[in-house]
A = this chain, B = another copy of it.
Amino acid sequence: MMNKEFFMREALKEALKSYSINEVPIGCVIVKDGEIIARAHNNREQNKDPLGHAELIAIKNAAKHLGGWRLVGCDMYVTLEPCIMCSGAIMDSRIENLYIGAIDDKRGCVASYLPILKDRMIPHNVNYEYIQTISPYIIKRFFRHLRRLKKESKNKI
């Protein structure tokens, strides 16, 4: 049986796919009965799609895999704390356990910036747990890389 760290590393592999195409590096896998049934990486810029967050793509793919929109008994591993849209989709699609690689204190809407999934008023409960990973480092490095790219392109003009 694979452990939580294994699945989080798989989510990190997805995040690195985003990195390699200059997208904010966020990756995600969905697991049912110890098996990865969906995986995705953020590709919002490349696909020009407001729904291009890793979590939403993985949720859509998991539903296709299971043949229904309720992802009962599924766990999600995601490298960064989800935004409002993704937190809503996670709750609404009945994801049971959510494992988060890094707190996002600027945008995270599970339990930090806007603690939506912590709110007792939400209609479905999602268990969540933060698992310490290298994802904050990857994200910081990515934004440094992005700033450098911007500076270089300015210097060229």
Measured CB to CB, the residues of A under 8 A from B are 44-45, 48-52, 56, 59-60, 63-64, 67-71, 83-89, 91-93, 106-107, 109, 113-114, 116, 119, 121-123
Contact = CB atoms under 8 A, between A and B. Distances in A.
A68 B48 CA distance: 5
A40 to B, nearest CB: 12
Contacts of A107: 123
Contacts of A70: 50
A51 to B, nearest CB: 5
A94 to B, nearest CB: 9
A50 B88 contact: no
A95 to B, nearest CB: 10
Q: Secondary structure at chain A's binding surface: helix, strand, loop or mixed?
A: loop
A144 to B, nearest CB: 21
Contact of A88 (B45, B63, B88, B122): B88
Contact of A49 (B60, B87, B121): B60
Contact of A116 (B91, B93, B116): B116
A51 B60 contact: yes
* A48, A56, A84, A113 — most chain B CB neighbours (10 Å): A84
Contact of A45 (B69, B91, B93, B109): B69
Given A114-B119, A114-B121, A114-B122, A69 B89 contact: no
A114 B107 CA distance: 17
